[in-house]
Each structure stands twice: as structure tokens, then as C-alpha cells.
A = this chain, B = another copy of it.
Amino acid sequence: MSNSLKPASGILFTAAFALLFSISVRAADDWYPSRYGADDTLGAINQLSPAKVVQAARLVKTGKTYRLGVETGPAAPAYPPRQYALTVLQPGDGTGAPMGSNRATGNDDLLQTWMGIGSQLDGLGHMGIDHRYYNGLHARDFVTAKGLTRLSTDKLPPIVTRGVLLDMAKHLGQPIVAQGTAFNRAEIEAAAKAQAVTLEAGDVVLFHTGWLNLAESDSARFMAGEPGLGLDGARYLAQLGVVAIGSDSWAVEVIPHEDPSQVFPVHPELLAKNGVYILENMDTRALAADGVYEFLFVLGQPRFVGAVQAVINPVAIH
């Protein structure tokens, strides 16, 4: 590029940027402060209530429990460059000498893992728009290399409420729902109706798609796409006041995205704009096999200080 052309192109670029900038400024303020107040950091967790807990506990009938977490290990579904290494060791001098007159021996473990691996909770600091996160919080106000100072997953109370499984595989008659299949308001309402369940504020909604079966049999295909929530479906569920949305897939949202120019649009729609939590890689297979569509959902996430996400293993109790 010759020097004489630079000023001109600089001006053009500036004009274009100005346009972009004014658009984004205008678009930005629709979505904050949040409906839970300008200082809120919990989002849809505000929809939880003791009354809801009591109601949900009444769903326990058979006493059967379901662990929704998958094995989180070196072979777990992971979005690059996320990885996992666990080392079992016996801190000491390596001689294996038992301790004390009771001859105690032991093992310890050291974990090096990305949090966004296996079954995981996406906290409200995970994805945002233009560096603004839930409630309009800007990255500069809470993101540090040593941990989030707000919105970290260790700050969350337990999520105990009614869980609802929407068996999309059954509803669509596909053992594994095809990738790119979007779940929007129409599909969600139809599936709920077919199951005779009414979604309510404070619920945790889980989609069963069969997609998780691919994690073991064909992990490349598993990671290449997935059926899942569309933008309209996300808005619909958020509007209803659900606390968290999960799926038996790694991103919960439909891939390829509905609008190919967008990147993970459902994530910031739920997390940033609505304070709704995302539960990835939920193992819904046993629930679906048993036809259990309503249950007591209990999540006590490990409280790793400052964490953006959390490896979790929620329990469904029926």
C-alpha cells in the first residue's frame, strides 16, 4: 500500500467503524440491567424458592437416583484446547513405608484440567457480548487471571428445584436427533405437550437428544455439530423463568448455528442477557429410558474459587 493512499483508507475505515460502533452501542443497552436488579449477580437462580423445593421433593416416588454427570477424563468431550490430566501420587519419600504403628498407607491426587470439559456448568461469566457479561458487567470489572471476582461458579447456591426432561429423540422419532436440528418455541411447546408437562418458572429443563451416544462411538462427529436449542427457543425458555437449561450435548445449542454468521449465539443470549445457566454433557439416557420427565433436580457444584465454569454431576431423584 503506497503512502499516499493511507489517509483516505484510514478515513473510510474510520467511517465504517463509527457506524459499527454506534450500532453496537444502541444494541447493547437493551439487555441490562437485568430483570433481577442492577446489582444482581445470580440471574435466574432468583427463580428458586423454598416452595419450589418442597414441590419438587414431592416428585420423589420410586426413590431411584440418576447421575447426570459423565466421566470427565482424558477422553471426555472437550472443546479445544481444553484438556485433562490427573496424577495419582503418594506424597513422601517414595519408599512406600507405612506410617505409624497402624501401618497406614495412602494415595493422593493432583488434577490439571480445564473446567470446560465433560459435564459442566457454564457460569454467568463464561460468555458475553463485546466483553459485557450478565447485567452489563464489563470484563474489566470482574475478570482477572487469578479468577473471576464476580459471577464465579463458587458463589452460587445449590440448585434444587423441579427438573423437566424433554425427550426430543422420542418426540422426533429419531434415536439420535440430527445435527443442526433447532429446538425453538414451537418444538419445545410440542414436546412438552406430548409429555403432558407444563414448563414453569424455576424449572431446570434438560433436552434428551441421543447425541451423547456419539461421544463414545464417534467423538469427531460428536464435536462437529449437534441438535440443540435455537435462539428463539432460548428466549422462550428464558422468558418462562427457567433457571438452567441442559442437554446431552457439548454446547446445548444447535450447531451449525441458525445464522452462520454468528458464533455460539445462544450462550450469551442465555448467560449474559437472561442470567440462565447452561448445563453441558448431561447424561439423560437413563431418565429417557425410564420415561422420567419430572424429578427433583439437585446440583451442588464443587466450589472452586474464581471459576468461570464447573465440572458437575447433578442428581435427578424420582
Q: A residues within 8 Å of B by Cβ?
A: 1, 6-7, 9-27, 30, 49-54, 57, 60-76, 80-116, 118-119, 125-131, 139-140, 143-148, 154, 157-158, 160, 259, 261-265, 267-268, 296, 298-315, 317
Inter-subunit contact B12/A19 (CB<8 Å):
yes
Residues of B within 8 A of A6 (CB): 25-26
Q: Can you add 18 more A-B contacts, CB < 8 Å, to A1-B30, A89-B89, A160-B298?
A: A10-B22, A16-B19, A17-B18, A68-B300, A76-B305, A81-B146, A88-B308, A94-B107, A94-B139, A102-B261, A102-B263, A103-B129, A110-B110, A110-B112, A110-B113, A112-B112, A113-B304, A300-B312
Inter-subunit contact B26/A22 (CB<8 Å):
no
- When the two chains form the complex, which single residue of B27, B30, B308 contacts A108, counting CB atoms closer than 8 Å? B308
Query: Is the contact region of chain A dominated by helix, strand, or loop, or is it mixed?
Result: mixed
Residues of B within 8 A of A126 (CB): 106-108
- When the two chains form the complex, which single residue of B21, B26, B53, B105 contacts A127, counting CB atoms closer than 8 Å? B105
Inter-subunit contact A96/B95 (CB<8 Å):
yes
> In the complex, what residue of chain B is closest to A67 when comparing beta carbons?
B158
Inter-subunit contact B148/A104 (CB<8 Å):
no
| A116 and B111 in contact, given A85-B85, A139-B94 (Cβ under 8 angstroms) | no
Inter-subunit contact B21/A104 (CB<8 Å):
no
For the complex formed, measure the closest distance between the CB of A296 and the CB atoms of chain B, giving whole angstroms.
Answer: 7
- When the two chains form the complex, which single residue of B10, B86, B146 contacts A21, counting CB atoms closer than 8 Å? B10
Inter-subunit contact B17/A20 (CB<8 Å):
yes
Inter-subunit contact A104/B304 (CB<8 Å):
no
Inter-subunit contact A261/B101 (CB<8 Å):
yes
Inter-subunit contact B54/A143 (CB<8 Å):
no
Complex Cα distance, B3 from A25, in Å, reads 11
Inter-subunit contact A148/B113 (CB<8 Å):
no
Task: Find the residue from A53, A97, A101, A118 having the highest chain B CB count within 10 A.
Answer: A53
Inter-subunit contact A302/B306 (CB<8 Å):
no
- When the two chains form the complex, which single residue of B23, B24, B127, B304 contacts A86, counting CB atoms closer than 8 Å? B304
> In the complex, what residue of chain B is closest to A61 when comparing beta carbons?
B54
Complex Cα distance, B89 from A114, in Å, reads 10
- When the two chains form the complex, which single residue of B21, B84, B143, B302 contacts A69, counting CB atoms closer than 8 Å? B302
Residues of B within 8 A of A119 (CB): 303
**5 cross-chain CB contacts under 8 A:** A14-B21, A85-B85, A87-B87, A104-B268, A302-B311
Inter-subunit contact B63/A53 (CB<8 Å):
yes
Residues of B within 8 A of A148 (CB): 88, 107
Complex Cα distance, B12 from A119, in Å, reads 43
- When the two chains form the complex, which single residue of B61, B64, B111 contacts A115, counting CB atoms closer than 8 Å? B111
For the complex formed, measure the closest distance between the CB of A103 and the CB atoms of chain B, giving whole angstroms.
Answer: 5
Residues of B within 8 A of A157 (CB): 65, 67
Complex Cα distance, B65 from A12, in Å, reads 51
